[in-house]
A and B are shown apart, each in its own frame.
Chain A
Amino acid sequence: MKRILAALAASAVLAVPGAALAQDKVKACFVYVGPKTDGGWTEAHDKGRLFVEEQLGDKVETAFVENVAEGPDAQRAIERFARADCDIVFTTSFGFMDATLAVAKRFPDVKFEHATGYKTAENMATYNSRFYEGRYIQGVIAGHMSEKGEAGYVASFPIPEVVMGINAFMLGAQSVNPDFKLKVVWANTWHDAAREADAAKALIDQGVDIITQHTDSTAPVQVAAERGIKAFGQASDMIAFGPETQLTAIVDTWGAYYVKRIQAVIDGTWEPGAIWEGLKEGILTMAPYTNMPDDVKATAEETEAKIKSGELHPFTGPVNRQDGTPWLAEGEVADDATLLGMNFYVEGIDDKLPN
């Protein structure tokens, strides 16, 4: 489409509005921070890309670059896509934010979508997934399943996203067992299988009987399986690594979102904005509830349904901060801005937040 137009106009205009000729292929491009076979974050996005190809077929063409370092390398990769006739570019790491914005300003006719950030522009949207909804369900399950009433959390880095997840898990567990305890270990990595395994072992040796993780590798699930301890998967269904111990997993299903957004580009209805979707929209799904009694499974499904219908918001008061001061009053629901910048624990967590 673009080439034809460029030839017709014989001008240097590189990009034209994507809606101009709907019957032509739209080119959707993806910039990944890790290898597309990392078994976690990036692989989930790449599955989303493949889902797009499957769903939209002839209407779309996709391309990707993997293992792009944050910083100047990212800006170059994004600009290359903008110059390579991409109609929409998805950049899938928080650290790509400023690079995406810089390129977006220079290529007003290309659309950009940046995952997990907070800066937007005329032609740049941000998108994110309400992972905390899944973590709340996990917490509810843990509250029922843990005999000792104590879970272990293998965490990556103390950024708002992770802190929010820990709090959601805890609130879910407390909704079942008000005395629930949670131990947190910061592995200080997103992806170091051996180190994550060490962290899980340390937690188990300290006596927790349920493991959950906010790091990317399957190691914690695998270690838990070896020790006969129940665990939750992360980013993808990790049942292969714990067939008898995985309770459920938060599965990132970006594909549904990508299809919707690329279809909007085809239809000419694409709008920028800060988009934060959840279980209801299908940007994340729960892996099958396994290895638990039927009543717990029923509770989990019920919780999921309530979150989907909007009847239940995980961060609903009364909730106190870790030091006991009130945060949310009875019935009050946390606003998105506070959640996205969360840097405090809720009451009951047995850890001191670093920094």
Chain B
Amino acid sequence: MFEAILITIATAATPLLLASMGELVVERSGVLNLGVEGMMIMGAVTGFGVAAMTGSAWLGVFAAAIVGTLFSLLFGFLTLTLVTNQVATGLSLTLLGLGLSSMIGESFVGRAGVRLGALDIPYLTEIPYIGRLIFGQDPLCYISLLLTAGVSWFLFRTRAGLTLRSVGDNHSSAHALGIPVIRIRYLAVMFGGACAGLAGAYLSLVYVPQWVENMTAGRGWIALALVVFASWRPWRVLAGAYLFGAVTIGQLHAQALGYGIPPQLLSSLPYLATIIVLVLISRNRRLTMMNTPASLGRPFVPDR
């Protein structure tokens, strides 16, 4: 049973991890995109639709990432090229995404979808206790872990990552050094869109292979919280996502065991925990300053 619980925790954590990893890169470049929920739901409806039409879950995943990217470009064009306010634009993107996805998905309701199959390696997956946990997850779960390692390596071990962080920390001096601030931010926003699209596809192709209106149900917002919870560090995002997954699943098990705790109290625990962790990590000013992208949310227009 323990293994089964861990597997469900991984399932609950993966979409959060995917979406927050994308948002982490976006925020590291100094852009705050509050439209994660909107991009995610677009990914979910695209993933379901394409997979159902072609019969291939992988095509669905691929299409979801593309649509997530395209949708994020809308945000990019407005905030980066037209310098609109990022908070308002992000919120509007979420509203648009929720509306557009339900319009597109109207005919998908009530249809069983295509499931992205889990990994099955002969012998390895059959190892008792740990086999399914380590070798029997769905492919996107592994991809999300690789993504974490990749983003961490990119941000802190490569020159391009350094450039991206410098854009997020101080876009004016980055610009003075000849770094194409806007272009880099566009790329970061697109990466964030692709990741959010994948996270959406995970919901409609792995988590519950069906299309339901508003099926993200606030997970995009949780992904946003996780990025800050993790103080913009990839491995901490991973830890945060799994912690959140564990609390969510754990409270359901506590209930099934017959502990009569008010469900509202249990449901609010993750949010209270996030606030406490936020307070704890931000008490150390120096440490926070080191990690927080200083230009987060600030518009940039090349000043000549």
Contact = CB atoms under 8 A, between A and B. Distances in A.
Chains A and B directly touch (beta carbon < 8 Å): yes
Q: Which of A37, A184, A222, A240 has the most CB of B within 10 A?
A: A37
Interface in B109-164: 109-112, 115
Contact of A203 (B110, B203, B256): B256
Contacts of B212: 38-39, 191, 193, 217, 219
B12 interface: yes
Contact of A197 (B5, B207, B263): B207
A313 to B, nearest CB: 29
B208 A222 contact: yes
A198 B250 CA distance: 10
Interface in A190-204: 191-199, 201-203
B255 A186 contact: yes
A354 B210 contact: no
Contacts of B5: 202, 205
Nearest to B9: A198
Contact of B252 (A43, A199, A352): A199
Contacts of A188: 263-264, 267
22 contacts: A37-B102, A37-B106, A37-B110, A38-B109, A39-B110, A186-B255, A188-B263, A188-B264, A192-B215, A194-B203, A194-B219, A195-B217, A201-B4, A202-B8, A202-B256, A206-B1, A206-B253, A206-B256, A218-B210, A241-B112, A350-B258, A355-B262
B208 A197 contact: yes
A183 interface: yes
A185 B264 CA distance: 13
Interface string B171-212: 000000000000000000000000000000001000111101
A152 interface: yes
Interface residues of A, number: 43
Contacts of B203: 193-194
Interface in A317-355: 350-355
A351 B110 contact: no
The 10 A-B residue pairs with the shortest CB-CB distance in the complex, in nearest-first order: A352-B260, A202-B252, A37-B109, A192-B217, A188-B263, A186-B263, A205-B4, A193-B208, A219-B208, A193-B212
A189 interface: yes
B170 interface: no
A194 B211 CA distance: 11
Interface in B252-296: 252-253, 255-264, 267
Interface residues of B, number: 38
Contacts of A222: 112, 208-210
A37 B248 contact: no
Given A205-B4, A206-B253, A206-B256, A194 B209 contact: no
Contacts of B111: 240
A198 B8 contact: yes
A207 B2 CA distance: 12
A226 B210 CA distance: 13
Contacts of B207: 193-194, 197
A186 B251 CA distance: 10
A203 B255 CA distance: 9
A35 interface: yes
B208 A194 contact: yes
Given A193-B212, A241-B112, A198 B1 contact: no
B286 to A, nearest CB: 39
Contact of A351 (B209, B213, B217, B255): B255
A194 B215 contact: yes
Interface in A229-259: 236, 240-241
Contacts of B70: none
B213 A205 contact: no
B260 A202 contact: no
Contact of B258 (A187, A198, A351): A351
A152 B252 CA distance: 12
A140 interface: no
Given A194-B219, A201-B249, 7 more contacts: A37-B102, A185-B255, A202-B249, A206-B257, A219-B212, A352-B258, A354-B260
The residue in B209, B248, B263 that gathers the most chain A C-beta atoms within 10 A of its C-beta is B263
Contacts of B263: 186-188, 354
Interface in A279-295: none
A34 B215 CA distance: 13
A199 B267 CA distance: 13
A137 interface: no
A219 B217 CA distance: 14
B239 to A, nearest CB: 20
A230 to B, nearest CB: 17
A205 B255 contact: no
Contacts of A152: 256
Contacts of A38: 109, 212-213
A173 interface: no
Given A37-B213, A193-B208, A205 B260 contact: no
Contacts of B253: 202, 205-206
A202 B207 CA distance: 14
A278 to B, nearest CB: 26
A29 interface: no
Contacts of B260: 351-354
Nearest to A225: B112
Given A198-B8, A198-B249, A205-B1, A223 B256 contact: no
A184 B109 contact: no
A206 B115 CA distance: 24
Nearest to A186: B263
Interface string A202-218: 11011100000000011
A306 B168 CA distance: 71
A291 B261 CA distance: 36
B210 A241 contact: yes
